[in-house]
Amino acid sequence: MKRLVVCLLSVPVVAFSAGATAETWKLAPGETKTYYDADFTRVDQTSGLIVTRIAEGKANGAYRNWPASKGPILVFALDCAADKWMDLGMDFDGSKGLPKGWRKEAKIEDISGAVGKAGKLACETKDTLPKAELP
């Protein structure tokens, strides 16, 4: 399954901006169990990449309430123009930020194959997403 990605536990983590502390998990359009965090999804001002996170399960709020049995929350950067995505790792408790040098991660083909319809929605609404200076 393309949604499973490898998490490098030794990668240093840089805290995400304070504005991303709220979480609004929404069901991705056309999906039955894949959610995206609307409050976390934003456009990086430096690179133009969209940073987002998704999870499979049910949307029950903050990470501390996200049951481990539902799987990890996956963090991605999306290059919509090239239809490519970047694996930024997994998050299990909400403490993960963006890894150092995240803009240089390898880009992989087919956003929909990894991020599903949440990725497509993020790309379609890119102009309306908040822009942020990300670390």
Residue range 29-50: mean pLDDT, rounded: 91
Complete domains list, the chain, with CATH: 23-132 (2.40.128.710)
Q: With 70 as the cut, is the pLDDT of residue 77 above it?
A: yes
Give the dihedral of Cα atoms 97, 77, 92, 116; nearest 10 deg.
160
Q: What is the pLDDT of residues 88-107, one digit of tens each?
A: 998 876 677 889 999 999 99
